Amino acid sequence: DTAVSQTPKYLVTQMGNDKSIKCEQNLGHDTMYWYKQDSKKFLKIMFSYNNKELIINETVPNRFSPKSPDKAHLNLHINSLELGDSAVYFCASSPGTSTFSSYNEQFFGPGTRLTVL
């Protein structure tokens, strides 16, 4: 299936641990994103990479470090997990970056539910 996939689907861990969430897309897209959905369902962008280069970096704690080994993968590593990091993390991808003459639709993965105890 062509899609955006994330692993794991669920992640339960203790405060202070370091964890990673992986994202892969086989759509041939150049741009990938990480979004965070909090307990109130509020969705906000965290990062975006285009061809392995960081293009969007919102005000996210530096405990969060995205890594793009190639343009099909964008992994999210989180150090020293805190209770407030509990959320659903969505990965997305788009064919490229948008311009005034063309919009590139973002396709979302199924999400990773992170619970920090």
Partner 1 sequence: AQSVTQLDSQVPVFEEAPVELRCNYSSSVSVYLFWYVQYPNQGLQLLLKYLSGSTLVKGINGFEAEFNKSQTSFHLRKPSVHISDTAEYFCAVTEAAGNKLTFGGGTRVLVKP
Residues in the site for partner 1, rule: CB under 8 A? 4, 31, 33, 35, 40-45, 48, 55-56, 90, 92, 94, 97-100, 103-106, 108-111
CA distance 65 to 54: 11
The conformation of residue 59, written as its DSSP 8-state character, comes to S
User: 15 or 27: whose CB is closer to partner 1?
Assistant: 27
- Minimum CB distance to partner 1, residue 16 (Å): 28
Minimum distance from residue 84 beta carbon to partner 1 (Å): 18
Residues 25 and 19: their CA atoms lie apart, in Å, by 20
Comparison of 66 and 109: residue with beta carbon closer to partner 1: 109
DSSP codes joined into one string, 15-33: TT--EEEEEEE-S--SEEE
- Quick check: helix, strand or coil at residue 102? coil
Nearest approach in angstroms of CB 109 to partner 1 is: 6
User: Which of 14/99 has CB closer to partner 1?
Assistant: 99
Contacts of 76 by beta carbon, 8 Å cutoff, 6+ apart: 20, 21, 23, 34, 46, 47, 64, 65, 66, 67, 89, 91
Please say which residue, 14 or 42, places its beta carbon nearer to partner 1: 42
